[in-house]
């Protein structure tokens, strides 16, 4: 299967700890997106990469959040000093340059901050 | 500010009948609209899209209608099948936004035998 993969699928952490999530996009896709989804809501855009360049960041992405895509392939999303409000599903998606709106999503990483 | 709204959190429909899901938006700059489908424990899956220059797009059992003057779009599923039971998200994007999607809150569809 060559879909978008995310690791880990679930993460439980204590408030104040740092966490890092990984996303592996579909190999030929050079656009990569991070979204966050809370219960009863649709995904909310966090940030977007075209190859290794981070081109847009949402105001939702506070200075505790950082995302990288060092070689234009996989991406990591790090949350420092986690807070209970960070508990959510973190979704990664990828797309082709020619069809940016048709995004293929991974299964997500569910973060629980206790 | 929620610019894409799905006001029906749930919809129950009998197998074989039509499912109609509705979505409203407030930003007139949106020019591309999509529907995604989500099963539990999976990420959303792209279903169908429509550009603002069209008012209808059809793909098999799925048809999306766009009414720009009313800032409203709808998804019709005909005939509905049990496998269509899922959460459906409406999403919209602006042409200059590099593919940033804004999603509605979703509608849970249950197709009953």
Reduce the secondary structure of B23-62 to three states and give it as a string: EEECCCCEEEEEEEEECCCCCCEEEEEEECCCCEEEECCE
pLDDT exceeding 70 applies to what percent of chain A? Answer: 99
Q: Closest partner residue to A31 among B44, B91, B99, by Cβ? A: B99
Q: pLDDT tens-digit profile of A52-80?
A: 999 888 888 889 999 999 988 999 999 99
The closest of A30, A15, A20, A18 to A93, measured between CA atoms, is A30
Q: Closest partner residue to B44 among A43, A44, A101, by Cβ? A: A43
Q: What are phi and psi of A86, to 5 degrees?
A: -80, -10
Which residue reads 């993969």 in tokens? A5
* Residue of A4, A37, A39, A42 to mutate for B, most B C-beta atoms under 10 A: A42
| CA torsion, ordered A92, A96, A101, A107, to nearest 10 deg | -20
Burial pattern A43-54, b for ≥16 Cβ within 10 A else e, equals bbbbbbbbeeeb
Mean pLDDT, chain B, rounded, equals 94
Distance between CA atoms of B67 and B72, rounded to whole angstroms?
A: 5
Beta strand pairing call for A53-57 and A65-68: unpaired
Q: Closest partner residue to A108 among B43, B100, B104, by Cβ? A: B43
3-state secondary structure of A23: strand
Q: pLDDT tens-digit profile of B66-107?
A: 999 999 999 999 999 999 999 999 999 987 667 789 999 999
**Whether the Cβ atoms of residue A5 and residue A91 lie closer than 8 Å to each other:** no
Q: pLDDT tens-digit profile of B44-68?
A: 999 999 999 999 999 999 999 999 9
Res. B1: pLDDT tops 80: no
Res. A1: pLDDT tops 70: no
Q: pLDDT tens-digit profile of A88-110?
A: 999 999 999 888 888 999 999 99
CB-based contact A45 B100, cutoff 8 Å: yes
Which residue reads 């592996």 in tokens? A24
CB-based contact B43 A42, cutoff 8 Å: no
The closest of A108, A36, A56 to B41, measured between CA atoms, is A108
Mean pLDDT, chain A, rounded, equals 94
* Residue of B34, B35, B38, B44 to mutate for A, most A C-beta atoms under 10 A: B44
Residue A7's DSSP bridge partners are: A22
- For residue A2, the model assigns a pLDDT of 78
* Residue of B7, B38, B43, B105 to mutate for A, most A C-beta atoms under 10 A: B43
- For residue A85, the model assigns a pLDDT of 95
Distance between CA atoms of A26 and A3, rounded to whole angstroms?
A: 5
Q: pLDDT tens-digit profile of A2-44?
A: 799 999 999 999 999 999 999 999 999 999 999 999 999 999 9
């Amino acid at each position: 299967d060559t879909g978008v993969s995310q690791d880990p699928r679930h993460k439980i952490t204590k408030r104040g700890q740092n966490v890092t999530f990984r996303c592996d996009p579909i190999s030929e896709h050079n656009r990569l997106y991070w979204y966050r989804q809370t219960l009863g809501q649709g995904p909310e855009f966090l940030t977007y990469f075209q190859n290794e360049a981070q081109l847009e960041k949402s105001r939702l992405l506070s200075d505790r959040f950082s995302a990288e895509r060092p070689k234009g392939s996989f991406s990591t999303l790090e949350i420092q000093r986690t807070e209970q409000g960070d508990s959510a599903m973190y979704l990664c998606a990828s797309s082709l340059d020619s069809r940016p709106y048709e995004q293929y999503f991974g299964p997500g990483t569910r973060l629980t901050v206790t | 500010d929620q610019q894409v709204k799905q006001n029906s959190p749930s919809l129950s429909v009998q197998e074989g009948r039509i499912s109609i899901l509705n979505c409203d938006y407030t930003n007139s700059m949106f020019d591309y609209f999509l529907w995604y489908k989500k099963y539990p424990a999976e990420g959303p899956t792209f279903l169908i899209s429509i550009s603002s220059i069209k008012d209808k797009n059809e793909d098999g059992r799925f048809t999306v209608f766009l009414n720009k003057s009313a800032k409203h779009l709808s998804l019709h599923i005909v005939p509905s099948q049990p496998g269509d039971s899922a959460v459906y998200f409406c999403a919209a994007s602006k042409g200059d936004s590099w593919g940033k999607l804004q999603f509605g809150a979703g509608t849970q569809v249950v197709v009953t035998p």
